[in-house]
Amino acid sequence: MKTLVDYSSINSLPEIWSITAQKFGDIVALHDPHSKPEVLLTYTQLLEKIQQFAAGLQACGVKSEAKVALFSDNSPRWFIADQGIIMAGAANAVRSSTAEREELLYILSDSDSTSLVVENLSTLKKVRSQLDDLPIEFVVLLSDETPNPDETLKILNFNQLLELGAKHTLTPVRQTKETLATLIYTSGTTGKPKGVMLSHGNILHQVVNLITVLQLEPGDRVLSILPSWHSYERSGEYFILSRGCTQVYTNIRSFKNDLKEFKPDHMIGVPRLWESLYEAIQKQFREQPPSKQKLVNFFLGISERYVIARRIAQGLHLENLNPSGGERLMANITAILLAPLHALGDRLVYQKIRQATGGKVKTLISGGGALAMHLDTFYEIINVPLLVGYGLTETSPVTNARTLKHNLRGSAGKPIPGTEIRIVDPDTRQTLSPMQKGLVLIRGPQVMQGYYKKPEATAKAIDPEGWFDSGDLGMLTPANDLVLTGRAKDTIVLSNGENIEPQPIEDACIRSPYVSQIMLVGQDQKALGALIVPNLEALAQWAQSQQLNLTFPDPSASRDEIVRSDLYSKSVRELFRQELNREVKNRPGYRPDDQIKVFELILEPFSVENGTMTQTLKVKRPVVAERYRDMIDGMFEK
């Protein structure tokens, strides 16, 4: 039986936790199986710890509307600290503890923080030498480590702060929907990050309205893997916990095992996560005997025809949104004829794949970047419901989302309640008609208050009528679904004047089993080029099947060793050329200018660790372009 909770009348985030403690008291709210010891906190216990943390901060001198920096990563203690800071009446400035020292110091200074909460002593050590030059009054460690007794700065660990808070009475602080709740610094690829000001009202809009997208039951398990401080995961966590769910923490290393062990009902992730799961499944297929591979590919081919026919019959096929009566009839007949074979494929193949996700998934939510169409289709085939949302840090973040009842694959869905979307000509700012591509503008209660202490940047991003310039390119369908086509600043302009959106072409290319990652280049060139991270395991299997005695370099090999290796042999280069040509030409909307004429192979994957991806696993194009500048220039000189 559903427990409906109405949050529309509350004015601040801390009010949520008193309500959840009353409604869902004994249900486990936060479960971290990877911490030592394991952490299990009920909703009653969560409220108590948030209150103690808030009272402890007040006892240390934190005043209403103060700024508190929070540099830490996913854990129940992060959540307690986050909401404890806000319950104390302050706003927090958040960032990962793994961020570069200079970035953390910039945020500390720019945010005007007067106190600091850090993950551990190691994080504190990063910034300690500069704290005496900043107005930091005290530091809280989220670990149990003992601060140095000779330390001149006041430092408490997590339990010391809670003990202090237990001895003090929490002073309620009046907060409204206009009160600043947090500063989230954009992880810009160039220039200094900007502090996005999100109010209680901005974030509460998400808590109240995401129920139209995701139906949750108290006690549902939600696996959490994204950075908690990021707006996408953060608003998601507030929402799922407001509904009485159990959040289970996982990480990249444990993710696949935790899917099987904890059997989640829901999960929030980014496209790269669903892609890695898909790649793991494809790897298992490739390891099967040829006869079994042939059977699996037969069923996948039949099922793809089946789901596309079903989409057309339902008017939910992006390439044919308004099918005629005859087209619907033919699609219906096709779906009916293919349904028995699809069902057989489900029993023999897809059911086993679902077990790898725990077998209980009600919904996967994808956001933080474009989802390749082949992934959308694959998850539809195996009957794992995958929804896609869209938004930015500046919009708290969700503005659009698909739903189970209206799941238009390839789109980002309709605007959520209270949200308006306009598509305008990037130059004239004139509103465009449905299915015309242009710049995406957003207006709604979730749009930020502005960039902290940057009025000029705010005025550039939000016009006098309240429309936020997303920097994204897209179009609206006649039914008001948003279809994204790329980033305005990512557009590659060839020397013939053609504008190329790289993302859709990259999404097509990673369908190849030999392409692990790819980034298009070619600004001001005659044709497109690409940097490709190859899948060495798939390449080795291909070489074996071709009876080629090829050896591939170790990922740590030098550039000269890579070029001299079999990775640069004529047969391998020709394989990649054929793969790229096929996948690019097979994608919807193909044009001759989309062809990738030149490419280079690199062995170091794009990653957060090496600075080439954001925390939500989007490639930092300017960073990659600069890192491989000589290689890119060289490929176009050939």
pLDDT in tens, 72-92: 999 999 999 999 999 999 999
Give kind and range of the element (H or E) at residue 300.
helix 290-314
Q: Is residue 308 one of the residues assigned to a domain? A: no
Q: What is the DSSP string of 93-145?
A: EEE-TTS-HHHHHHHHHHTT-SEEEESSHHHHHHHHHHHTTTT--EEEESS-P
pLDDT at 1: 40
Q: What is the pLDDT of residue 189?
A: 43
Q: What is the phi/psi pair of residue 123, to 5°? A: -65, -40
Query: Does residue 483 belong to any structural domain of this protein?
Result: no
Q: What 3-state class would DSSP assign to 497?
A: coil
Sheet holding 420-424, edge to edge: 420-424, 438-443, 468-476, 482-487
Confidence category of residue 3, pLDDT binned at 50, 70, 90: low
pTM score, whole prediction: 0.86
| Secondary element (H or E) of residue 596 | strand 596-601
Residue 332, Cα to own-chain centre: how many angstroms?
35
pLDDT at residue 368 tops 90: no
Q: How large is the average pLDDT for residues 170-191?
A: 87
110 belongs to a structural domain: yes
What CATH number does the domain containing 543 carry? 3.30.300.30
Look at residue 44 in the predicted model and tell me its pLDDT: 98
Q: Which of 422-426, 489-493, 626-630 has the lowest mean pLDDT?
A: 489-493
CATH number at residue 163: 3.40.50.12780
Lowest mean pLDDT among 226-235, 262-271, 615-624: 615-624
Q: Is residue 616 part of a domain?
A: yes
Of 250, 269, 288, which residue constitutes the final position of a domain?
269
Say if 40 falls within a structural domain: yes
pLDDT score at 191: 60
Name the domain boundary from 269, 293, 308: 269
Averaged pLDDT of the chain: 94
DSSP code for 346:
I
3-class DSSP state of 613: strand
Match 């910039």 to its residue by tokens.
Answer: 106
Report the share of the chain in percent with pLDDT over 90: 82
Average confidence (pLDDT) over 44-58: 98
Domain count, the chain: 2
Per-residue confidence band for 282, with pLDDT thresholds at 50, 70 and 90: very high
pLDDT of residue 187: 62
Tell me: pLDDT of 459 over 70: yes
The percent of residues above 70 in pLDDT, for the chain, comes to 99
Q: What is the pLDDT of residues 373-424, one digit of tens each?
A: 999 999 999 999 999 999 999 999 999 999 999 999 999 999 999 999 999 9
Domain end residue (candidates: 269, 301, 317): 269
Q: How far apart are CA 146 and CA 285, in angstroms?
A: 51
pLDDT of residue 551: 81
- Give domain status of residue 80, yes or no: yes
pLDDT tens, residue by residue, 324-342:
999 999 999 999 999 999 9
pLDDT of residue 573: 93
Q: Is the pLDDT of residue 565 over 90?
A: no
Residue 561 lies inside a defined structural domain of this protein: yes
- Tokens (6 digits) for 589: 């909307």
Find the mean pLDDT for residues 454-464: 96
pLDDT reading at 497 higher than 90: no
How far is Cα 258 from Cα 277, in angstroms, rounded to an integer? 13
pLDDT of 347 above 50: yes
Is 106 inside a domain boundary?
yes
Domain that holds residue 65: 15-175+213-269
Instruction: Give the angle subtended at the CA of 140 by the CAs of 134 and 141, to the nearest 5°.
Output: 120
